[in-house]
Amino acid sequence: MFFNSLDFAIFLPLVFAGYWLLGSKRVKIQNMLLLVASYVFYAWWDWRFLVLIFASTSIDYFVGLALKWEGDKIKRKLLLFVSIAANIGMLGFFKYFNFFVDNFTSAFSFFGASIEADSLDIILPVGISFYTFQTLSYTVDVYKRKFTPTSNFIDFSAFVSFFPQLVAGPIERAKDLLPQFSKSRVFNFHQARDGMRQILWGLFMKVVIADNCGVIVNEIFSNSQELSGSTLLLGTFLFSFQIYGDFAGYSNIAIGTSRLFGFNLKQNFSFPYFSSSIAEFWSKWHMSLTGWFKEYLYIPLGGNRGGLLKTLRNVGIVFLVSGFWHGAKWTFIVWGAINALLFIPSLYGVKRLKDDSKSGLIEIIKRPIRILLTFSLITLSWVFFRADSINQAALIFGEIFSTTSLTLPTILPKTVLLLIVVFAVIEWVGKGKSHALEGIGRLETPIRWMCYLLIFATLFFFSNSTQTFIYFQF
Amino acid sequence: MKKFVFKILLFVLISLSIYVPIAVWVLPDIITIIQGPSTLQQIEKSFQNAAEREYELVILGNSGSYRGLNPEKFELTSYNFSHDNDTYNQIYHKLKWLEKKDKKIKYLILSVDYFQFSYLASNRNYAYNLYFNKSYKNDYMNIPLVQFTGQYNLLEPNRLKYLRDVKQERTKEIYLKENGQYVYPGQANESDTYEYDINRLPLQEEYFKEVLAHCKNKNIEVFLCMPPCRKNALENYSSKEMNEFNEFINSNTSVTVHYLNYAHQKGWKLADFTDITHLNERAADLFSKQVSDSIVAIIKE
């Protein structure tokens, strides 16, 4: 069930009505309703996936409880291992099995030895990368005694499968979200109203920006061999808005929907394209995943505590794993590596920037240039993220850095470019808030309502063929 | 909670109060300008002209005849009363409607296609329901009632996106002729494919025979006409299936029922089609002339 579908437009009001009418002030009924709704929501794709989510939930619930009572260090480690092996095992099988089989056979062939191994016809369960990371963080936190595990299976199941953020995040930490399930939730008008605004803006980002960019991006990338550098550059530029509109749009809808039910989820994007360095960008892009890697990978590896070389190694590992998390393809790994290379000097740049922060006027001039440079570098790195293969990415780069980039693009989507300008202006005005429409409440009521109607109308006026959310495949 | 629900409902109400008048009174005309007449407009115009005009030959059938036969190319005064996707139950009710309107018809061109017996078309019931008698619904007992409730799709909000094309230059005309023919531009591709089913539903066979019986009763001479088919379309059927189909049609011919089968006629090129099935305007004119000549020859015999 997609957020931008008629199914969801019917599903959400029904769940909302049931939740507040039947479950008002009765937290058990509320959680039970959310659990049923979440399983229905997930089963809408394929009911067989429910087995996986139920298995992941059950394993981590019982491991959590066992960790609570177990004092023996070795047994605790064993329990942690069971949880990690089960979750990573499932993720590994469904997401990476064919990747490893294909690459092993290629590697053996390269060295002259021929082995036969068949790829399997595996369907990737929607959102598996997100909920396995969420449940893993629970077990690790319980293991480290940072969090007391819950003994309520319904609460825990509802936490793992909470439908607004189930399939594409934000990846919530148990210590932030799970306690919200055990507290009584009372309807809050201001929270719900802002949730609706965030949903509206999320839909705009997805339906108007991402989907319209997507149509042109698909056309450009599927004909990349025949197009000029300038056209490919345009396609890459549009993809940077497609991926942002798609994923940040999804996050806004997820967070807004959660707020309708009295939950507060983490901010996942904080206007990342207005960042003035790569380091700043990564502190504002997919914040829940970045935070997860920082807490559960970067810091356990030693973080920046072991000198320059160890810091470089740790940053490199985090970005490579992050790339691989996105998909079982070499393009994602290269994308991760490029971002690691861009990130390290930027990290030093940020330190220097903090020292220069009193430079006043010069800084005002420098900042837009830095924003533009950061955006350009990030945009170019997206080529690997979007390309079907390393070869295609190399071809695209070859063309972008050739004289054909000095010609006019063969495709010039004026309407889409105009929409992007309008979108960027609204985002710029709203930056600093949790979402672009948060500040709209300060406007006079008639003007505010006109804005709502205008955005609502554009959803239909500019809607294109419905495209799935890109991050669902991760 | 009440305040929140009230505001949401108010927003929906305001949206609808702005949108509904636009959707009902403004959008249809604008969309007609951009996209050509809607299905409902086509059917309304088709019935209006069928009632008002005088003709001795009427053409009934699906899109093959709707787009492929131009009555102006016929020697006999003719009217094309076909419509996309029409099946024999609908054709039968159209004949009954013409009878009710006291139209004196001498000749009928009834289109036959290899796939035309294989389904019960229902997607235009909201329009046909306005014209046909109650017995028409009896064949649709399992079809949702909403299909009979009229112009429900007028309020479809996605129709707003048609307005984006207002400024686009219209290079190809899409129009409904006063003689009933619908002209739709396009260019077929070598790779066009479509899955057709040659099996005949008993219900459609029954209506097909009812149509012939009605014509016999009213002294209407019938010309069963199969338009030219592309090789890609014919690949859906085996020779055995096509032979069996043609035997069935031939078994229903008589002194006053003739079968004109152009399906396998040589000479038609890719450039003559708009897609997998339909002739373009120029080819339709050529084909119409050919059919007219055949009919005149048969009549003179």
What's the pLDDT tens digit per position in B20-36? Answer: 888 788 877 777 777 77
Mean pLDDT of A370-389: 93
User: Chain B partners of A189 at a C-beta cutoff of 8 Å?
Assistant: 1, 3-4
Residue-by-residue DSSP string for A103-144 = HHHHHHHHTT-----PPP--PPPTTHHHHHHHHHHHHHHHHT
Per-residue pLDDT at A218 exceeds 60: yes
pLDDT of residue A6: 80
Per-residue pLDDT at A283 exceeds 50: yes
pLDDT of residue B133: 84
Catalytic residues of A: 326
Cβ <8 Å between B164 and A457: no
Per-residue pLDDT at B91 exceeds 70: yes
Q: Chain B neighbours among A 396-455 (CB < 8 Å)?
A: 415, 449, 452-453
pLDDT of residue A4: 76
pLDDT of residue A155: 93
pLDDT digits (tens, 9 = 90+) for A292-306: 999 999 999 988 887
Per-residue pLDDT at B183 exceeds 50: yes
Domains of chain B: 2-300 (3.40.50.1110)
Per-residue pLDDT at B4 exceeds 60: yes
Cβ <8 Å between A461 and B160: yes
User: How far from each other are the two terminal CA atoms of chain B, in whole angstroms?
Assistant: 82
pLDDT of residue A472: 59
The vertex-A217 CA angle with A214 and A221, nearest 5°, equals: 140
pLDDT of residue B27: 78
Contacts of A79-84 with C-beta under 8 Å, sequence gap 24+, read: A79/A143, A80/A139, A80/A140, A80/A143, A83/A59, A83/A135, A83/A136, A83/A139, A84/A136, A84/A139
**Nearest residue on chain B to A17, alpha-carbon basis:** B5
- CB contacts < 8 A, A to B, total 34
Cβ <8 Å between B1 and A20: yes
Helices within chain B (DSSP H only) = 2-21, 27-35, 39-52, 63-68, 88-100, 125-128, 202-217, 231-234, 239-251, 281-300
Structure confidence at residue A46 as a pLDDT band (50, 70, 90): confident
In angstroms, the separation between the Cα of residue B7 and the nearest Cα of chain A is 9
pLDDT of residue A467: 60
User: Chain B partners of A415 at a C-beta cutoff of 8 Å?
Assistant: 164
Q: Chain B neighbours among A 16-75 (CB < 8 Å)?
A: 20, 24
- Regarding predicted confidence, which is higher, B145 or A385? A385
Percent share of chain A, pLDDT over 90: 54
Q: Are A130 and A166 in contact (CB under 8 A)?
A: yes
Q: Which of A193, A456, A462 sits opposite B15 (nearest CB)?
A: A456
Exposure pattern of B237-249 as b/e (b: 16+ CB <10 Å)?
beeeebeebbeeb
Per-residue pLDDT at A416 exceeds 60: yes
Per-residue pLDDT at A473 exceeds 70: no
Q: Which of B4, B11, B158 sits opposite A463 (nearest CB)?
A: B158
- Regarding predicted confidence, which is higher, A63 or A47? A63
Mean pLDDT of A303-312: 83
pLDDT of residue B169: 47
Cβ <8 Å between A453 and B1: no
- Regarding predicted confidence, which is higher, B28 or B5? B5
Among the ranges given (A153-162, A290-299, B146-155, B244-253), the one the predictor scored with the smallest mean pLDDT: B146-155
Structure confidence at residue B205 as a pLDDT band (50, 70, 90): very high
Put simply, whether A463 touches B (Cβ < 8 Å) is yes
User: Chain A partners of B8 at a C-beta cutoff of 8 Å?
Assistant: 196
Among the ranges given (A364-368, A399-403, A434-438), the one the predictor scored with the smallest mean pLDDT: A364-368
In angstroms, the separation between the Cα of residue B238 and the nearest Cα of chain A is 33
Put simply, whether A196 touches B (Cβ < 8 Å) is yes
pLDDT digits (tens, 9 = 90+) for A110-153: 666 666 666 566 666 778 888 888 999 999 999 999 989 999 99
Q: Which of B285, B245, B281, B251 is nearest to B263 (CA)?
A: B245
Cβ <8 Å between A189 and B4: yes
Mean pLDDT of A246-254: 94
- Regarding predicted confidence, which is higher, B93 or A312? B93
Structure confidence at residue B171 as a pLDDT band (50, 70, 90): very low
- Rounded mean pLDDT of chain B? 88
Per-residue pLDDT at B276 exceeds 50: yes
Structural tokens at position B262 = 């152009």
Per-residue pLDDT at A11 exceeds 50: yes
Mean pLDDT of A467-472: 62
DSSP-derived 3-state class of residue B279: strand
- Rounded mean pLDDT of chain A? 87
Put simply, whether A462 touches B (Cβ < 8 Å) is yes
- pTM beyond 0.90: no
Cβ <8 Å between B160 and A415: no
Cβ <8 Å between B164 and A415: yes
Percent share of chain A, pLDDT over 70: 90
